Amino acid sequence: MASTAQALTNLHITGDFESSAPNLQKNLHLLSPHQVELAKTLLELGQTHLFKHWAEPGVDDDEKRAFFDQVTLLNENYPGGLDSYIKTARELLADSKAGKNPFDGFTPSVPEGDILTFGDDNFIRFEETGVREVQNAAFVLVAGGLGERLGYNGIKVALPRETSTGTCFLQHYIESVLALEEASYGLTQGEGKKKIPFVIMTSDDTHSRTLQLLESNSYFGMEPTQVMLLKQEKVACLDDNEARLAVDPHNKYRIQTKPHGHGDVHSLLFSSGLLNVWRAAGLRWVLFFQDTNGLLFNAIPAAIGVSATRQYHVNSLTVPRKAKEAIGGITRLTHVDGRTMVINVEYNQLDPLLRATGHPDGDVNCETGYSPYPGNINQLILELGPYIEELTKTKGGIKEFVNPKYKDASKTSFKSSTRLECMMQDYPKTLPPTARVGFTVMDAWFAYAPVKNNPEDAAKVPKGNPYHSATSGEMAVYRANSLILRKAGVQIADPVPEVFNGQEVEVWSRITWKPQWGLTFSDIKKKVGGSCSISQRSTMIIKGCNVIVEDLSLDGALVIDAAKNSEVKVGGSVQNKGWTIEKVDHNDTSVAEELRIRGFRIKRIQQLETVGLPNSS
């Protein structure tokens, strides 16, 4: 290939290849000029071992070309390329080996933030502000993970949020965004209805299945043009403290790769050009959330209201956190040189940091019964303008970390390959001190119930700590809805304790509704009235927007389905055999996975169904 030969002459590196990587030198004629440049970069970065076992020309030539196709992707998908990746890795690995404290020189303190109480006047004011403001927001769902850790072989967003209706997480999220879109337009008519952008970050594991879930369900009512899927790529694995790239154990012509972490969402948004499109469209906020928190949208309107009122560049949604609880704490860090930042500090770092900086008791509860450092739940609201300015400087790169598992105390070799990782919530680490970074605390009962632990791991959780399982996640939805209706004046019976999959949970009335019915507490209060009561064994499902529940006494199952633009009024005494909860053995493979991981299923015996006609009861 003349072009390759010319490239080699220009680079003066033929001799370098011959002396350091003779097997590569023999195969250079297979490569394009661009690939020769990449080969030179790899040699300069000390990666000659990658070519040690390459075959003679004519053998495995397609595999050799595929190797450089992979190297090209790894180089293009990382800000600064492989040169930056390997140099950063060497610095971080050296710090790890030396046991360097990443917070050396920093003193922690409690940052500014708002503590909200669900349903009070302050909360309602923030909700109303947030609903007005939400038409200027874009939503970003980080959904790169499978459900394997849960004992589920599908993608996590396809799991039912609750099994009374079978609504999956992705459907609930999309319907919540659509309800926000409608409500925002209702408060700001005359300004024109805006379609709220909805981005999903996927991975190789989840991309095609997420797209299939959307397409087979007509995007759950959202216009396909509103939805954008951005696929996250993996990064190269590292074999040692010198950051030598790890050869795939199953293919000598491949570099082993692993996920880089959900912090990649920032670089993907930056490189996609979407941020500038949104700014041109007049958007102001970008809201990030994760894949299996079924209560999140109870908190979003008020949280956006806080961001707009306080003019936060970064607003972290948080929950009250017990001292030493295994959840990171939002912390202000002040360096001896005057630098400050407000970031998440992991629980296993916060306690020793406090002890080392004049707090002999470390992380302890204050007079509220909770740590003054609120618990991070990885839901962020960023102001778009400052966000674009920051990513323009960093090219979307987020401060990384490395977590090698060493074979022994000498820290000279790893048990297995490692890689650089980054977290979405570490975005504020590079912000200037002038950035307005705060937090919003909301009670976990209505804002946070992630589904991430399998039944075996959940059953081992110390008593009193959250299980964060499919079992507890579904029960949390019923608990939240029951307590919200209680606050709206409905008499809801107390729960009963029950054990499913080794987890003791409270079983409340199985109450659930579509987001368009009860998006905010003000909405809900307007739609329930008179003297209403619901027994513990009851199930109530509300579909539709204009459903009025008044003077209802429910002891059984009631399904209310109001067609669009129709009003349904429900009242009087409703009593039937209802729906029961039947235990399921999580080892019983004849039962569907999404039920086994819960340990129960809903048995539908008898119900009253009220549908469609205006003013029916």
Asked if residue 112 and residue 18 are part of one domain, the reply reads no
pLDDT at 67: 97
Cα–Cα distance between 296 and 298 in angstroms, integer?
5
Last residue of a domain, one of 77, 112, 131: 77
Q: Interhelix angle for 33-44 vs 81-98, to 10°?
A: 20
Residue pair 139/198 in contact by the 8 Å Cβ criterion: yes
What is the mean pLDDT, run by run of 10 residues, along the chain of 617 residues?
Answer: 45 55 91 93 94 94 96 93 95 92 91 94 97 96 88 94 98 98 80 88 95 98 97 95 96 95 95 96 96 96 98 96 89 91 90 91 91 94 97 90 92 93 93 92 96 94 89 98 98 98 97 96 96 98 94 97 86 97 93 96 96 53
Same-domain check for residues 273 and 381: yes
In a domain, 56, yes or no: yes
Q: 94-131 burial, b if ≥16 CB within 10 A, otherwise e?
A: eebeeeeeebeebbbebbebbebebbeeebbebbbbbb
158 domain-assigned:
yes
293 and 146 in one domain? yes
- Of 578, 316, 584, 519, which is closest to residue 425 (Cα–Cα)? 316
Q: What is the DSSP letter of 54?
A: P
Reference 217, options 250, 275, 251, 174; nearest CA is 174
In a domain, 548, yes or no: yes
How high is the pLDDT of residue 559?
97
Residue at 564 is within a domain: yes
Report CA-CA distances (Å) from 51 to 12, 47, 86, 250, 346. Answer: 20, 8, 17, 15, 40
Distance in angstroms (rounded) separating the CA atoms of residues 341 and 347: 17
Separation of alpha carbons 584 and 7, rounded Å = 66
The distance in angstroms from the start CA to the end CA of the chain is: 81
- 249 and 353 assigned to the same domain: yes
Q: Where are the alpha helices (DSSP H) in 118-240?
A: 121-133, 169-187, 207-216
Same-domain pairing of 427 and 283: yes
Looking at the domain assignment, is residue 96 inside a domain? no
With residue 109 as reference, give the H or E element that holds it. strand 106-109
If asked whether residues 119 and 65 sit together in one domain, one would say no
Of the candidates 104, 149, 68, 141, which has an alpha carbon nearest to the alpha carbon of residue 451?
A: 149
Angle formed at CA 49 by CA 248 and CA 397, multiple of 5 degrees: 65
DSSP letter assigned to residue 246: P
What total of structural domains would you count in the chain? 3
Looking at the structure, tell me whether residues 207 and 348 fall in a common domain: yes
| Residue 247 placed within a domain | yes
Range(s) of the domain holding residue 190:
103-452
How many CB atoms are closer than 10 A to CB 336? 9
Cα–Cα distance, 608 to 539 (Å, whole number) = 10
110 alpha carbon, distance to own chain's centre: 24
Are 375 and 409 found together in one domain? yes
Cα distance between residue 447 and residue 455, in whole Å: 22
Domain C-terminal end among 77, 95, 124: 77
107 and 252 both lie in a single domain: yes
Please say whether the beta carbons of 454 and 460 come within 8 A.
no
Answer for the pair 202, 144: CB distance below 8 angstroms, yes or no: yes
> DSSP letter string over 61-76?
HHHHHHHHHHHHHHHH
Sequence-distant (≥ 6) Cβ neighbours of residue 453 within 8 angstroms: 149, 150, 461, 467, 468, 469
Nearest CA among 524, 566, 529 for reference residue 544: 566
- Closest by Cα among 314, 300, 380, 367 to 123: 300
Residue 405 CA to residue 99 CA, distance in Å, equals: 13
In this structure, the answer to whether residues 152 and 244 fall within a common structural domain is yes
Please report, for the domain that includes residue 598, its CATH number.
Answer: 2.160.10.30
Predicted local confidence at residue 8, as pLDDT: 44
Q: Is residue 478 part of a domain?
A: yes
Asked whether residue 393 falls in the same domain as residue 263, the answer is yes
Cα–Cα distance between 265 and 155 in angstroms, integer? 18
483 in a structural domain: yes
Chain position carrying tokens 């379609």 = 195
What's the whole-model pTM score? 0.92
DSSP 488: T
SS3 336: coil
Assess whether 465 and 448 both reside in one domain: no
A 10 A CB-CB count for 190 gives: 5
